[in-house]
Amino acid sequence: GVLPRPLFDTQIAAALAGVGGGMGYQKLVQEVTGTLLTKGETRSDWMRRPLSPAQLEYAADDVRYLFAIHDELTRRL
């Protein structure tokens, strides 16, 4: 099998950094960056193409804050 490296688990890092164990991504983004993500597209039809602009924005938000979260959690660890 293939293992991706390096791997950084934001949920585990958040727990170890004292930010909160079991914290979801939306709450983690808010805690670390102060940004409140909307979850309006969570249950939309992701199989339908093309994706709507709202779906594309929602998907982008799922990765947009990862570097900032990584940097802050690494600093706290």
Residue 44 CA to residue 51 CA, distance in Å, equals 10
Predicted confidence (pLDDT) per residue in 46-62, tens digit = 999 999 999 999 999 99
Give the residue-averaged pLDDT of 21-45.
Answer: 92
Give the residue-averaged pLDDT of 63-70.
Answer: 96
Residue 29 CA to residue 24 CA, distance in Å, equals 9
pLDDT score at 23: 85
Give the residue-averaged pLDDT of 17-26.
Answer: 87
Residue by residue, what is the 3-state secondary structure of the chain?
Answer: CCCCCCCCCHHHHHHHCCCCCCCCHHHHHHHHHCCCCCCCCCCCCCCCCCCCHHHHHHHHHHHHCHHHHHHHHHHHC
